[in-house]
Amino acid sequence: MGQELGITASKERNPSEWYTQVVQKAGLADYAPVKGCMVIKPYGMKIWNSIKKDFNEKIRASGVEDAYFPLFIPETYLEKEEDIVEGFDPEVAWVTHGGDKELEERLAVRPTSESMIAPFMSKWVRSHRDLPLRLNQWANVVRWEATDTRPFLRTREFLWQEGHTAHESEDEADEETLLRLEQYQEVIEDHLAIPSVLGYKPEHDKFPGAKYTTTIETLMPDGKSIQSGTSHQLGQHFAEAFDITFEDENSEQSTCWTTSWGLSTRTVGALIMAHGDDNGLRLPPKVAPIQIVIVPIYQEENKEEVLEYSERLAEQVRRAKGCGCKTDIRVELDDRDHRSPGYKFNEWELKGVPLRIEVGPNEVEDDAVTTVRRDNGDKEMGVDRKKFLRNVEQILEKIQNSMYSELEEYLKENIREASSKEEILGTIGKNRGYVKTRWCGKEECEAEIKDQVSAEIVVLPFREDSKPETIQAYDEQIGGECSICSEDAERWAYFAKNY
Amino acid sequence: MGQELGITASKERNPSEWYTQVVQKAGLADYAPVKGCMVIKPYGMKIWNSIKKDFNEKIRASGVEDAYFPLFIPETYLEKEEDIVEGFDPEVAWVTHGGDKELEERLAVRPTSESMIAPFMSKWVRSHRDLPLRLNQWANVVRWEATDTRPFLRTREFLWQEGHTAHESEDEADEETLLRLEQYQEVIEDHLAIPSVLGYKPEHDKFPGAKYTTTIETLMPDGKSIQSGTSHQLGQHFAEAFDITFEDENSEQSTCWTTSWGLSTRTVGALIMAHGDDNGLRLPPKVAPIQIVIVPIYQEENKEEVLEYSERLAEQVRRAKGCGCKTDIRVELDDRDHRSPGYKFNEWELKGVPLRIEVGPNEVEDDAVTTVRRDNGDKEMGVDRKKFLRNVEQILEKIQNSMYSELEEYLKENIREASSKEEILGTIGKNRGYVKTRWCGKEECEAEIKDQVSAEIVVLPFREDSKPETIQAYDEQIGGECSICSEDAERWAYFAKNY
């Protein structure tokens, strides 16, 4: 594979150029004619579809139903929720004409759908028997971001799911908010093998109109944090504005509590950044479109036997999970005749395939395989074929776990405590990652840091005990003083640069 | 169920009002604040998702990959393909502002994506080894239809898949066009139980810029035809306009042949119209979100035993397919205490559930079930439970087939041949359905009919022999004279009123 096909930028020294090259050369996405938009290519789409499937199964199993709401939101609808308008106004793309005719009212291309869905919740919810109402849509949304757009990480149009629920009580809305955040955590940690930090967003950075916003943050190797999903407890704010009420068991009218939560194609960007290296993508087996690639290595005189062996092997690997009920292993035989084995090795490394099997005449003779792991380059030669087939699931699991552990260690090492303004600034200046500090809750204190280095409070972490049942249990009185203003501290805060 | 919940319009006498009521009362869709847009409710979404899944499996198995292209198409891109512009210009919704700023170039909200995808095909296709290139996207599209919008059948925003492929030769593009049309036929006939007529669209009614357009038409009980999917052979027209070329095996540059094909949420509208009756929806088992509903009938003194028996039965029915590998039967136990059995019967009929099981104290005592078919109302009392469980798959299959047969007969009866202009007009005036006639191929001849009755040529049917391999084999010299102008006839044509 020539220079033009391989990655020529260093992830360490030039992460931005590295990212751009990986996205394009690994066939994940391409740049669209409209600035800030992207074309998701089949390989990138398979990754997004895998994330979709994983999350979809979780929400299906916990009572969420799919629906679809219109792309266009009338301006007056958006205005009904003042906080929403303020939050999104500078980012809204406006439709003003249908064919040759100017529209009587201009239409927002949805930046999010709270103000579209709330009126229908109001219409559909009559009695406590209609609750909880849990809706989700997989959709495209548009936010006219002005700067720093990058495929997956920040695009003007992106794909996401947005969940919208209505409940009888505050407790139920709290539980829902937390449940969805924890399901995001399962997707990000178990499926994408990226450790995360869960917590609140600061009051001044929450979703417009929400009671509170929870976030799942992931730390990238360049030391920046990516907000990988958010779950909002909307309180009764939207329910009051849009009249979402119900008759309770005592025939009294009550106002609902609502939530919303979203996970977007941005997670694909986090996946690329978190695991990639200077040879390209590295994909955890669970999300990899191709989990194992078989590369036959032959001369003219042994071509037939090597190819035959490889084809049989591919079929055996595909079925290597005992029961036909489970998903087949996603295996590909690269039998292209016009490419050399070396070219193929590089290409599949670039595409991040977790395990490569090499089959040459020696392997055929010994009834064996040679395996090379993408994550750490470990090569095992002459592994007995039958033994390999027995262990193949375990091998993939091992790769998945070891990719997670690597990043988990990195995350732990890069949370540094600081207890004064100078220490915060010094730590951010010298190091990557999160700076953990006591904070009073005032935006001004965050601003003092933000003004000097381009870092902000990305998350107020939940306390680290094992999972409590409700969001309240995540709150804690930390005591001590704010590191910036010395007033009483409210919570721990993580400062970081972010995407 | 009160009047306000049941259907109050007759499908026969007032199909339009009937349709509107079924869509809303069966919980399929709701009206959006923007005229001509719709909200797809969970029950409607499940039907669309079932259609998606069925078609998706077919195209996956025949080499098509998912991708995603941007919602916004710059005006200059659209203009590059003059035919496309002419075809869609009056129907395009235009984005003119991003936030407060007027855009330098206005952006079309995609009415279809040929002009967006073609430039990328041009970029991605280099060699014959990159061909065929087969892409599909599941997406929303917008066509600013002025009149007669109705949920599913004609909406300004709708959901669809659009397939876009590039090939080395005309033959391959012909085959692709036909393959996708036949896959549409499988979805419509086998999954939705609606018989269809396949054929060409007249030259003047083909997709703008296409070599030819094929269509799958379905005949509704009100006598109107619905175009339920189209597959276009685009010739080299788009490939020339957007420079989609490849190096062939002899290292010569050649121009590709392209196709595109789409199936939309309109099929849900066809499903509602085709099978519904005065009690509401009737759903074929394959597409029904709930295939079997169990309604327990009890008094206070036998409530516990009836409910227990019903719960066990629900679990048994769910697993009634021998092997856990196959999909479970979609069964629901309606144990709502605040609704009477009669209310439930009506509600599940309205929602079109194919089979209802009634369980009362007699059934419990006899270890039996009582079943009622939604399609024909057939009731069987005291069916041995074990026997029922053994036969349940067959029963659902029988319902599926009998719903198809009913409409197949209707379709056959409603294709009437006519051999003069007067006869065509008379037949359309007196009867529902298709009028089959010899046609010369000139738009003027169609216009003579269209001007007098609101019917047009909806399809030029393929010859009816068993499936030939290529599209050419579907062409025939029919001989005889055009029924309207008496010049040489080119093909059979079907006149009909349509949606």
CA-based nearest distance A489→chain B, Å: 38
The interface residues of chain B toward chain A in range 95-114, judged by CB-CB distance below 8 A, are 95-100, 106-107, 109
Q: Domain span at residue A131?
A: 15-275
For residue A121, the chain B residue with the least C-alpha distance is: B41
Residue B29 touches partner A, C-beta closer than 8 Å: no
Residue A40 touches partner B, C-beta closer than 8 Å: yes
For residue A88, which residues of chain B lie inside 8 Å, CB to CB?
Answer: none
Please indicate whether, in this complex, the C-beta atoms of B71 and A159 are within 8 angstroms of each other: no
CATH code of the domain in which A374 resides: 3.40.50.800
Interface test with A, best of B4, B57, B71, B79 (most A CBs within 10 A): B71
| Same-domain pairing of B40 and B152 | yes
Answer yes or no: is A203 within a domain. yes
Answer yes or no: is B1 within a domain. no
Answer yes or no: is B401 within a domain. no
CATH code of the domain in which A485 resides: 3.30.110.30
Residue B144, C-beta contacts closer than 8 angstroms, at least 6 positions apart? A98, A99, B36, B90, B91, B92, B93, B156
Residue B338 touches partner A, C-beta closer than 8 Å: yes
pLDDT at A465: 65
Q: Give me the tens of pLDDT residue by residue for chain B, a chain 499 residues long.
A: 455 679 999 999 999 999 999 999 999 999 999 999 999 999 999 999 999 999 999 999 999 999 999 999 999 998 887 777 777 888 999 999 999 899 999 999 999 999 999 999 999 999 999 999 999 999 999 999 878 899 999 999 999 999 999 999 999 999 999 999 999 999 999 999 999 999 999 999 999 999 999 999 999 999 999 999 999 999 999 999 999 999 999 999 999 999 999 999 999 999 999 999 999 999 999 999 999 999 999 999 999 999 999 999 999 999 987 444 467 999 999 999 999 999 999 999 999 999 999 999 999 999 999 999 999 999 999 999 999 999 999 999 999 999 999 999 999 999 999 999 999 999 998 988 999 999 999 999 999 999 999 899 999 999 876 666 777 778 777 889 999 999 999 999 999 999 8
CA-based nearest distance A144→chain B, Å: 6
| Same-domain pairing of A39 and A170 | yes
DSSP A302: G
| Same-domain pairing of B98 and B191 | yes
Residue B123 touches partner A, C-beta closer than 8 Å: yes
| Same-domain pairing of A373 and A431 | no
pLDDT at B466: 60
User: How many distinct structural domains can be found in chain B?
Assistant: 3
| Same-domain pairing of A316 and A258 | no
Instruction: Work out how many CB contacts closer than 8 A connect A with B.
Output: 150
Residue B339 touches partner A, C-beta closer than 8 Å: no
Q: Which residue from A37, A71, A77 is facing B70, i.e. has the nearest CB?
A: A37
| Same-domain pairing of B331 and B419 | no
For residue B332, which residues of chain A lie inside 8 Å, CB to CB?
Answer: none
Residue A381 touches partner B, C-beta closer than 8 Å: no
Answer yes or no: is A406 within a domain. no
Please indicate whether, in this complex, the C-beta atoms of A33 and B77 are within 8 angstroms of each other: yes
Q: Which residue from B30, B34, B325 is facing A325, i.e. has the nearest CB?
A: B325
Residue B94 touches partner A, C-beta closer than 8 Å: yes
Answer yes or no: is A404 within a domain. no
CA-based nearest distance B242→chain A, Å: 14
Residue A142 touches partner B, C-beta closer than 8 Å: yes
For residue A247, which residues of chain B lie inside 8 Å, CB to CB?
Answer: none
Claim: this prediction has a pTM higher than 0.90: yes
CA-based nearest distance A38→chain B, Å: 6
| Same-domain pairing of A76 and A102 | yes
Answer yes or no: is A3 within a domain. no
Task: Give exposure, B366-392, as e/b (b: 16+ Cβ within 10 Å).
Answer: eebbbbbbbbeeeeeeebebeebeeeb
| Same-domain pairing of A323 and A442 | no
Answer yes or no: is A196 within a domain. yes
| Same-domain pairing of B174 and B66 | yes
The interface residues of chain A toward chain B in range 192-231, judged by CB-CB distance below 8 A, are none
Q: Which residue from B32, B119, B123 is facing A70, i.e. has the nearest CB?
A: B32
| Same-domain pairing of A223 and A341 | no
Residue B135 touches partner A, C-beta closer than 8 Å: yes
Please indicate whether, in this complex, the C-beta atoms of A66 and B72 are within 8 angstroms of each other: no
User: Residue with structure tokens 């349509």?
Assistant: B498
pLDDT tens readout for residues B18-57: 999 999 999 999 999 999 999 999 999 999 999 999 999 9
Residue A61 touches partner B, C-beta closer than 8 Å: no
Question: Model ipTM?
Answer: 0.96
Residue B61 touches partner A, C-beta closer than 8 Å: no
Please indicate whether, in this complex, the C-beta atoms of B98 and A74 are within 8 angstroms of each other: no
| Same-domain pairing of B304 and B231 | no
Q: What are phi and psi of A470, to 5 degrees?
A: -125, 165
Residue B70 touches partner A, C-beta closer than 8 Å: yes
Residue A66 touches partner B, C-beta closer than 8 Å: yes
For residue A45, which residues of chain B lie inside 8 Å, CB to CB?
Answer: 65-68
| Same-domain pairing of A227 and A123 | yes
Answer yes or no: is A409 within a domain. no
